[in-house]
Structures are given as C-alpha cells and as structure tokens.
C-alpha cells in the first residue's frame, strides 16, 4: 500500500532518478518534472501529498515556483537545493516552504523530513483539537492541557501556540512569526519572540532547558514538534 504520492521538481536527471528509486523503495508513488512549468502542470492536474522542489530550475526560479504553488497548493513543500545561504533558506520558508534540506543530502534524513511533513498535513486537516505529545490544544475553546491538566495562557501566548501547532513540523522563521502575531511593523523585534517562546517553554515543556516541543532552528526560527 502506497504511503502517498510525491512530486519531485528538479532539473538534475541523476537527482530525479535517485529520489524516484529511494522513495519508491519506501512505498511512495513518485512523479517527476524537470522544469517549474512542468511541475506546476503536474501538480495542478493531480495534486500530490507532498512536493520536493529544487531552487535552481532552468525556466524559472524555484522561489517563484514556490510562490506560484502556494497560491493554491496547501500541502507540504520541501525545498531540496544546493543553495545553502541563510537568505535562500529564510526566503523559501517565508514564502511557504514546509522545510529546507541542502544537497548533498542523506536519504534517511530526507525520509524523516517527509514523514514529519506528512504528519503535519494530517494534523492541519484535524482541527480544532490538536494533539502534540502530552499537549492538547483546543482551538475552538482556546484551552490547553498538559498531561490532562489545564494550563493558563495569555492571549498572545495562545495565539503564538496556535500558530506553532497549526504548522506542526514546519520551520517558521522569526520574521514570519513576528508578522503573524505582532504585525508587519514588528518583524525586527526578535526580543518579543525570545520572551514569549521562553514563557511557552516554561509553561508547556517538562524541562524548559531541554525542550521537546519548541525547537530552535539556529539563526532561522523555530519548529514545533
């Protein structure tokens, strides 16, 4: 039984071949495209469960393709690229990428990222109650419990937790979080984020100094697990 269909958009034949063999051997159905335009047509005609997208495409920048896809495609998109600058990573994540992995990559790590992203897809479809380990977040009643015990959050803390939990498994950049919670004018106020993430860890983590839910992605942002 297939675990889901994955569309690979990459102009390197050897990468497409490697991904097709690796993913199919792990029970995924794989479709490939060598250009952004071909990838968009394939995705539109038969939307996959997940898209793996290269940034360096021959016809159009992968960043532009990502924006085009995000106009209508809501499931996970993982960037797989040789471009590893912080600016490229942040730009992709801000434009809606679910995750970013640089080439050369380890197949095991890619498979783990795919599993995480697909779980995030499933949770996004199962609102208003979101489960994450010992946490239960009820978006409708705006209540949170940890191991069955109610946890009192401020309005801002809850809004931040809601943003994290509805994007479970995804890397969210500092700028994206600040814009979503505090507005466009606060995108450089990273101290806001540090304070509130610290508060959430204190209230919701078993050991705030070794968090299991609110994970720091150094220099980029946070990931909620």
Per-residue pLDDT reduced to its tens digit, 153-171: 888 888 899 999 888 888 8
- pLDDT value of position 63: 92
- pLDDT value of position 159: 87
As a dihedral over the C-alpha atoms of residue 115, residue 117, residue 122, residue 124, rounded to 10 degrees, the angle is 160
| pLDDT(102) > 80 | yes
Residue with tokens 């050897």: 14
- pLDDT value of position 64: 92
- pLDDT value of position 138: 87
Q: Are strands 171-173 and 149-151 parallel, antiparallel or unpaired?
A: unpaired
Query: Where, residue-wise, is CATH 1.10.10.10 in the chain?
Result: 129-224
Query: Where, residue-wise, is CATH 3.40.50.2300 in the chain?
Result: 5-124
Fold for 5-124, please state it: Rossmann fold (3.40.50)
| pLDDT(134) > 90 | no
| pLDDT(125) > 60 | no
What is the architecture, at CATH level 2, of domain 129-224?
Orthogonal Bundle (1.10)
29 — pLDDT class (breaks 50, 70, 90): very high
């Amino acid at each position: 039984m297939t675990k889901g269909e994955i569309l690979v958009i990459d102009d390197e034949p050897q990468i497409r071949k490697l991904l097709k063999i690796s993913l199919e051997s792990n029970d995924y159905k794989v479709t490939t495209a060598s250009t952004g335009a071909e990838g968009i047509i394939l995705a539109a005609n038969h939307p996959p469960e997940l898209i793996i997208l290269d940034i360096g495409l021959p016809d159009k920048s992968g960043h532009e393709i990502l924006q085009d896809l995000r106009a209508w495609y809501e499931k996970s998109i993982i960037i797989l690229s040789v471009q590893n600058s912080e600016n490229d990573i942040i730009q992709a994540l801000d434009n809606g990428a679910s995750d970013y992995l640089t080439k050369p990559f380890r197949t095991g790590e890619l498979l783990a990222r795919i599993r995480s992203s697909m779980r995030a897809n499933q949770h996004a479809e199962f609102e208003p109650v979101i489960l994450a380990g010992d946490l239960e977040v009820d978006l409708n009643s705006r209540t949170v419990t940890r191991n069955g015990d109610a946890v009192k959050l401020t309005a801002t803390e809850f809004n931040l937790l809601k943003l994290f939990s509805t994007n479970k498994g995804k890397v969210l950049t500092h700028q994206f979080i600040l814009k979503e919670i505090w507005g466009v004018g606060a995108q450089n106020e990273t101290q806001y984020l540090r304070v509130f993430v610290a508060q959430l860890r204190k209230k919701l983590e078993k050991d705030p100094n070794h968090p299991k839910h609110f994970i720091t992605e150094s220099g980029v942002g946070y990931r909620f697990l």
